[in-house]
Amino acid sequence: MTQYRDLTIIPLDGKEELVIACDSSAAIGEKKGDCVKTSPAITAAFCLRVPLLEVLAIGAQPIAVIDVIGNEYDTTGKKMLEGIKEELTRAGLSNLPINGSTEENMPTVMSSLGITVIGKVLANQKRIGCLKAGDAVYYVGQPFVGKEVVAHRDMIFSYAELANLLEVPGILEILPVGSKGILHEAEELAKSSQLTFELAEEQSDTLELKKSAGPATVLVIGVSSTKQEQIEQLKLGLKFIGYVKEER
């Protein structure tokens, strides 16, 4: 078993590996104690989005979803489950099995949810540690968090866009960005290949790069140095932020 960033990877038979990702959400919903008011369905959809993207981004195929809802089934849990199913449909995974639990013993005043996504990947096809010194790092999307996510939902990249990026020759590795921001995840991307990240001079203003991207509203992308020019010509909306280099 290995821990890779936010993923747990468990070898199965020498060829396949189990990939496990999880995320949690609290104080976002319709309850009295919630800090951000929105539908529990939206809360659950975005909570699922994070681990689902993490599994998909390394080339794994999701096989199950587990939800742990810290609220009553009727009506908060029911709405959350609806949101989970809607998000799976958006991802083209409407037939994925779902298991979970709700809190039926205690009254709650704040929305709470945890989601785990389990996937499988061929060990020799997972997109981890694929970069070489000189490869470029880009990002796509905008960092939104809290109320911004609800307000700009139509601007957030889709699962179809991720799938398209995974098919582009020269795009080697993709990493969803969460609360630690673009810059942190670019550094993590480099570390996975035993390299360091060097921020481009034109990116000296790192305010946006350090901002939380909430429920994975940004993807950091590693691009082969041999394909960089061709990929930029594709007009994919990628923003260049730097390179990876050998550790000193």
pLDDT of amino acid 205: 63
% of the chain beyond a pLDDT of 70: 99
pTM of the model: 0.94
Q: Which class in CATH covers the domain with range 2-125?
A: alpha beta
Residue ranges with strand state E in the chain: 2-4, 7-11, 16-26, 28-29, 36-37, 61-69, 98-101, 112-122, 136-141, 171-177, 195-199, 218-223, 239-246
Select the more confidently predicted residue: 8 or 208: 8
Asked if residues 218 and 182 have their Cβ atoms less than 8 Å apart, the reply is: yes
Q: Is the pLDDT of residue 150 over 90?
A: no
pLDDT of amino acid 3: 87
Q: Is the pLDDT of residue 173 over 70?
A: yes
pLDDT of amino acid 208: 86
Q: Is the pLDDT of residue 204 over 80?
A: no
Q: Residues 105-132: what's their mean pLDDT?
A: 97
Architecture of domain 136-246: Alpha-Beta Complex (3.90)
Domain ranges of the chain: 2-125, 136-246
